[in-house]
A and B are shown apart, each in its own frame.
Chain A
Amino acid sequence: MGRRNNVNGLAANARPGLARLGAIALAAIVLLAACSGATSTPSAAPSAAAASAAAPTATAATPLVVGVLAPFTGPDAALGPAYFAACLPAVREINAAGGVMGHQLTCKQFDTRGDPADAVPAARQMVASTPNLMMVIGCTSDEASSVAPVLEQNHIVSFCMTGQSEFNKSSFHYFHRLVPPDEYDAYAMVGSALDFNHYQRVALVFGNDIGSQAFVAPATRALTKLGATVVINQAIALGQPSYRTEVTKMLAAKPDVIFTEALGPTDATYLAEVKQLNGSMIPVIGTSATIDPVWFKAVSAAIGLPDLLKYFQAVDVSTTFSGPGYDAFKAALLASAADFADAPKYAQRGATLHLYDGVVMTALAMDTAKSTDPAVYNPVINKIGNGVTGATVVNTYKQGVDALKAGGSVRFSGAAGLTQFNEWNNSQGGYILVKYDDKGGEVTIGQLTQDQTNQIIQAGGS
């Protein structure tokens, strides 16, 4: 090819075998991708040490650890802080009341990166390095399937924020769930679209991660059986710089509404491109995970606050954000801002309320059982949630301890109200239809009637 061509290229001397170097680089890239995001806690979230230091003075008894096993990095990094924000007020409240049988509690983060492959070693490392682990909260749909067996084998009580249907009737005795399965989330979206907004043509735009894809099949079944049309189903790769081709394809299908959950910057990018390519927004209904301060901030910046307020609705687990249990939670949450500046942002995040309740319930179960052995106190958790005959309803940990000291039994009605565990440790409330206010708070705009809910569930086949 001659001289002219040669001068235009660059090639280092003594170049190692390109194929070999390429292979090395590709292997490193895979490692980098796996670590992307990466290993630290978010800046807004304090370290476990900070959380511990914020707790009241420890007693001689061994401190117990509440593990927050969740994504703190990666595309779903917004989830971990919401769960950490649940742990802090619970621990603060329990420690202020003297701890669990004198044991002070601390919160500790264990990052799963939202990836089942990373979650298992994270869970094993947590178990190996935390002998005084009291319980675990978090475990989203991203990692619950992979970490639940690890937690079960080690007799670790867990309150998970997974909606996967495999936990509807599981054999995991230490697993607890205070939120409905994702299919119910999907059914609520269908109810919102058909019964509340009267849309008929639906575009399903969900991230291609395990958690987000759990909504697709039940939503499709219910929509189809109820006479609506799924005009397009897009499983979009998370974290791409652009989705314009996907958006063009979706808009060509002429949907009335988009159902979505694609976390990280994905929904923000996708919806901004919808607005750009369509000339205006079209209605969007999100899952309960889209009611989140991080999602709100990202999407409102991308499409503009007025359009987010006008075109976006979501579904969320039914909570009133009121009552003595909620007030106690909120006071402790606001006080936790000293440890985690973003904590107050989660005052109206359903998941935060539920996991807070899970920690307090477990602590009361330990007090009731007078044991720190999970095998002993685990069966008592359901009794604290459901109550036994003659139980005193309490709204705070201190009230519960006082009632137990008086010789009674207790039923905990916490930040999210009463729970009702079934035999598989699932407690499921109803759904509300919500939207954001201009500060990112949640505003209830409707609720599905029991008849509507039953009809959709039947259509969905559950």
Chain B
Amino acid sequence: MDLYVAALGFALVSASVIAIAAVGFTMQFGITNLINLAYGVVMITSAYVAYALNQLGVTIWAGLAAGAVCGAVLSYLLNRFLYAPFQRKGTSHIGMVIISLAASLMLTNVVLAIVGPTSVSYTQDPGPTIRIGAMVLTTVQVLIIGIAVLLMLVIHALLTLTRLGKAMRATAANPSLARSCGIPTGRVIDGVWLVTGALCGLAGTVAAMNSDSFAVSNGAGYLITILAAAVLGGAGQPYGAMLGAVLIGVMTELSAAAISPEYKEVVAFGVLVLVMVLRPQGLLAKVGALAPAG
């Protein structure tokens, strides 16, 4: 029993990391209508930027901010100079997916050429161990959970209380109408890429902080989990992504405790497939949708 309680604790940490990333990913899709397959590599690139600073003696918490900035800038540039021109030309959805796949491969190889295949670790003090029953977490892990909760609240506030958030929702619902109403949708889209890119960069850095060792090859793995969480919760639904992250995190950790760990992803994705069969629109599609997706 203790093992399962401990696994639940680790699941909370995993879910926190996935949630930060998945919310950014699903917002990108929800507002820009683009499945950005370069998301995972932007995460790992941000993690390496934080690592570079960390190696210069900068604390990893400052590196976290640098990771967010890197994610924001890189995502903004990707959209401005790659995705947006193709979207303006009316490239099909599948065409955009392929373009983002190409961007992912190119960026991966650029990063690989710079940092090499060796895995690296942050210099960080995990802090005192915190024990809650059978749950054993480091201070850093508890802080990661705290960061995730804080970011979810900030995203909620952004979408519901700010003009930018409302403009984002309006743009997501109907960009033509939003433009007619005087909303500068171009700048809103830029804002979306900056905000979601920052989430992406933060997610990459906290994922690397949590995993003790990371390499360029981790980027693709991140993306698969994020996509699963986003689809499970309902594509384009930030709250759905949060729920999806928790479910994916819990399922992977509990299945690692219950059966052979090599099947933990199989179990998680098996549940994903089941949900897709029974509820293709995702768990929260109708609850939070502006348009009737489900």
On A, residues with C-beta under 8 Å from B are: 1, 5-16, 18-19, 21-22, 24-26, 28-29, 31-33, 35-40, 42-44, 72-75, 77-78, 81, 208, 234-237, 239-246, 248-249, 252, 264-265, 268-269, 272-273, 276-277, 294, 297-299, 301-302
> Is B132 located at the chain interface by the 8 A CB criterion?
no
| Contact present for B227 and A26 (CB under 8 Å) | yes
Per-residue interface assignment for chain B, residues 106 to 128, with 1 indicating a CB less than 8 Å from any chain A CB and 0 otherwise: 00110011111111110000100
User: From A79, which residue of chain B is reached at the shortest CB distance?
Assistant: B117
| Contact present for A272 and B213 (CB under 8 Å) | yes
| Contact present for B253 and A245 (CB under 8 Å) | yes
Q: How far is the CA of A207 from the CA of B185 in the complex (A)?
A: 48
| Contact present for B118 and A297 (CB under 8 Å) | yes
- Closest CB of chain B to A417's CB: distance in Å? 30
Which residues in B have their C-beta under 8 angstroms from that of A302? 119, 121, 212-213
> Is B219 located at the chain interface by the 8 A CB criterion?
yes
- Closest CB of chain B to A24's CB: distance in Å? 5
Q: Interface extent on B, as a size class?
A: 35 or more
| Contact present for A40 and B13 (CB under 8 Å) | no
| Contact present for B119 and A10 (CB under 8 Å) | no
Interface of B is mostly: helix
- Closest CB of chain A to B13's CB: distance in Å? 7
**Which 5 pairs from chain A and chain B are nearest by CB?**
A9-B288, A10-B30, A36-B220, A265-B119, A268-B213
> Is B48 located at the chain interface by the 8 A CB criterion?
no
Given contacts A12-B32, A277-B136, A301-B120, contact A43 B113 (CB under 8 A): yes
Given contacts A33-B224, A241-B221, contact A39 B238 (CB under 8 A): no
| Contact present for B93 and A242 (CB under 8 Å) | no
Q: Quick one: which of B104, B218, B260 contacts A239, CB cutoff 8 A?
A: B218
| Contact present for A265 and B31 (CB under 8 Å) | no
- Closest CB of chain A to B8's CB: distance in Å? 9
Q: How far is the CA of A133 from the CA of B35 in the complex (A)?
A: 42
Given contacts A40-B113, A75-B217, A301-B213, contact A249 B257 (CB under 8 A): yes
| Contact present for A8 and B94 (CB under 8 Å) | no
| Contact present for A25 and B37 (CB under 8 Å) | yes
Q: Quick one: which of B114, B236, B257, B281 contacts A245, CB cutoff 8 A?
A: B257
| Contact present for B239 and A29 (CB under 8 Å) | no
Q: How far is the CA of A43 from the CA of B215 in the complex (A)?
A: 14
Q: How far is the CA of A269 from the CA of B291 in the complex (A)?
A: 43
- Closest CB of chain A to B21's CB: distance in Å? 11
| Contact present for B217 and A36 (CB under 8 Å) | yes
Given contacts A22-B276, A29-B37, A298-B118, contact A246 B261 (CB under 8 A): yes
Q: Quick one: which of A29, A272, A277 contacts B224, CB cutoff 8 A?
A: A29
- Closest CB of chain B to A253's CB: distance in Å? 11
Beta-carbon contacts under 8 Å, B222-255 to A: 222-224, 227, 231, 234-240, 253-254
User: From A273, which residue of chain B is reached at the shortest CB distance?
Assistant: B212
Q: Quick one: which of B10, B98, B235, B284 contacts A244, CB cutoff 8 A?
A: B10
User: From A298, which residue of chain B is reached at the shortest CB distance?
Assistant: B119
Known: A12-B29, A33-B221. 15 other contacts (CB 8 A): A8-B159, A9-B239, A11-B30, A13-B176, A15-B291, A32-B220, A42-B113, A239-B218, A241-B222, A244-B13, A268-B119, A268-B213, A269-B211, A272-B121, A298-B213
Q: List 25 A-B contacts (CB under 8 A).
A: A11-B30, A11-B289, A12-B172, A16-B93, A19-B280, A25-B97, A28-B98, A32-B37, A36-B217, A38-B109, A38-B112, A77-B117, A234-B260, A244-B10, A245-B6, A245-B257, A245-B261, A246-B256, A248-B136, A264-B119, A264-B217, A268-B121, A269-B119, A298-B119, A302-B212
